[in-house]
Amino acid sequence: MLLNMKRTFEMFVDREGNPPPEFEPSQKVKIATRMAAEYAAVREPPTTMPVASTAAAAGGGDKDVTRIVSRLDEEKRAKEYAAAAAASGSASLVLYAPSTEAAGGGGATAGAGGALVVARRQGPSVPKPTWHAPWKLQSVVSGHLGWVRAIAFDPGNEWFATGSADRTIKVWDLAKCAAGAEGGLKLTLTGHINCIRGLAVSPRHPYMFSAGEDKKVLCWDLECNKVIRHYHGHLSGIYALALHPTLDILITAGRDSVARVWDMRSKQQIHVLAGHTNAVGSLLTNAADPQVITGSHDCTIKLWDLVAGKSFTTLTHHKKAVRALAAGKREFSFVSAAADNMKRWQARDGMFLNNMRGHNAIINTLSSNEDNVLFSGGDNGSITFWDYDTGYPFQKMTSGVQPGSLDAEAGIFCSSFDASGSRLVTGEADKSIKIWREDLEATPETHPIDMKQWAKDYTARRR
């Protein structure tokens, strides 16, 4: 009895609060699986490098392996490894570091003990792009009498509005238009006296906003389909319009090379974001700082502090006019497009991340969806679909002109994914609206990623 109690005590009391002991064989299997699945690439260290010390792994390894691994955790673990290695004083290399350092092309890791280990400069590792189904044309809607220059989607995803050079805004039923059925046109709004360049539908109000080259910014009440507000103040044509995602603020930018911030309700102009030296062609708004990003024809991008009404960074990397901007949906970054290149930026501080090369045209529009697909449409009707993260152009094509149009009328002016991200609507120079969708029958086998070419392109441009 006493012996039994003692044994029980030994068994449980001293382990109180600790996790139960691990079952050895299952643990082994788990580690083996993880190694095969996640560390296969670095399982065998390169022969020229010193072999990672097993002591470091043994030091804090076991506990870490059992942890639920997220990306952040791995990073932390790598730091621990490095610390352990430094403490032991032995020259060691970090076995696994997150891709931030690997992409830097190697470098030096300084140990606290003064041992400086210089890794050999490696070639850039080619990131593997994620596979996306190719897109194809679903239907063509014609109804406008001029270039279609602006598109906005209803947040409910039932309809979309297009603004055209024929001075009208047309509201279309998405389902009917996509099916090519009759009666897709729901409404035509007139009120502008020049080409309409910016459209936005508010997700919190029954309002739609439009801006045009006639210097007018109008607020339409969608319950009675009438203009209820004018925002007066632009000195020249307006090229872009955006709504703030969280505040009741409207931002327009145009040929007078400023962006103007309007209070939606009182029609007052809150700020004039001046600083560009040429027309501002594109706009982006974010809920977090930078709340406004503008791309201009003076080849710069400015990130604005909305509170102070001043820019806090100017990005001068582009060589040609920046005509389009698109925000990433899964990360806080944005892509800018100019005739020379497309560039991805870190939004918070405007740090340059990577180029997206491959679309050799004057790019008029960019759109991205939640699946990390980025669309770029060119002034010559060329279309490229990109993998947002890696910058891999997975599909290149041209959008044909409507019968009866000139070849020169191939051109894409505006684009937008619908709220679900499964349809893409483009407004074109041949006065048509085209609706694209993913090819559902495509598989990675039928449309494989051309890794060879991609690796070639990727390494070539990093020279």
Would you tell me which residues interact with another protein (CB under 8 A)? Answer: 71-72, 75, 98-100, 103-104, 246-247, 249, 261, 263, 266, 268-271, 274-275, 277, 286-289, 291, 299, 306-308, 311-319, 330-333, 346, 348-355, 462
The nearest distance, CB 398 to another protein, in angstroms, is 20
Closer Cβ to another protein, 214 or 389, answer by number: 389
Torsion sign, CA atoms 363, 295, 197, 258 = negative
Cα 179 to Cα 229: distance, rounded to the nearest angstrom: 35
Closer Cβ to another protein, 32 or 287, answer by number: 287
The nearest distance, CB 234 to another protein, in angstroms, is 14
The nearest distance, CB 312 to another protein, in angstroms, is 5
Amino acid occupying residue 148: V
Structure-token pair, residue 387 = 């993998």
85 burial type by CB count under 10 A (0-12 exposed, 13-18 middle, 19+ buried)? buried
Position of tokens 């209820």? Answer: 228
Closer Cβ to another protein, 181 or 288, answer by number: 288
Closer Cβ to another protein, 66 or 99, answer by number: 99
Structure-token pair, residue 271 = 């700020």
The nearest distance, CB 274 to another protein, in angstroms, is 7
Cα 444 to Cα 439: distance, rounded to the nearest angstrom: 12
Structure-token pair, residue 233 = 């103040």
409 burial type by CB count under 10 A (0-12 exposed, 13-18 middle, 19+ buried)? middle
The nearest distance, CB 148 to another protein, in angstroms, is 26
Cα 30 to Cα 106: distance, rounded to the nearest angstrom: 30
Beta partners for residue 280, in sequence order: 296
Closer Cβ to another protein, 1 or 406, answer by number: 406
The nearest distance, CB 163 to another protein, in angstroms, is 27
Closer Cβ to another protein, 209 or 436, answer by number: 209
DSSP conformational letter for 443? -
The nearest distance, CB 359 to another protein, in angstroms, is 17
Closer Cβ to another protein, 88 or 314, answer by number: 314
The candidate with the shortest Cα–Cα distance to 134, out of 460, 439, 450, is 439
Closer Cβ to another protein, 35 or 408, answer by number: 408
β-pairing verdict for 108-110 and 116-118: antiparallel
Closer Cβ to another protein, 5 or 72, answer by number: 72
Cα 99 to Cα 43: distance, rounded to the nearest angstrom: 16
List CB contacts of 169: < 8 A, sequence separation 6 or more.
Answer: 161, 162, 163, 188, 189, 190, 191, 192, 196, 199, 208, 210, 220
The nearest distance, CB 407 to another protein, in angstroms, is 13
Compute the C-alpha angle 412/359/411, nearest 5°.
15
Cα 441 to Cα 437: distance, rounded to the nearest angstrom: 12
List CB contacts of 299: < 8 A, sequence separation 6 or more.
Answer: 316, 318, 319, 320, 321, 322, 338
Closer Cβ to another protein, 189 or 264, answer by number: 264
Cα 318 to Cα 282: distance, rounded to the nearest angstrom: 14
Within a 10 A sphere around the Cβ of 33, how many other Cβ atoms? Answer: 10
The nearest distance, CB 264 to another protein, in angstroms, is 10
The nearest distance, CB 100 to another protein, in angstroms, is 5
Q: Cα-atom radius of gyration of the chain, to the nearest Å?
A: 28
Closer Cβ to another protein, 298 or 428, answer by number: 298
Closer Cβ to another protein, 194 or 313, answer by number: 313
The nearest distance, CB 378 to another protein, in angstroms, is 17
The nearest distance, CB 262 to another protein, in angstroms, is 10
SS (H, E, C) 153-183: ECCCCCEEEEEECCCEEEEEEHHHHHHCCCC
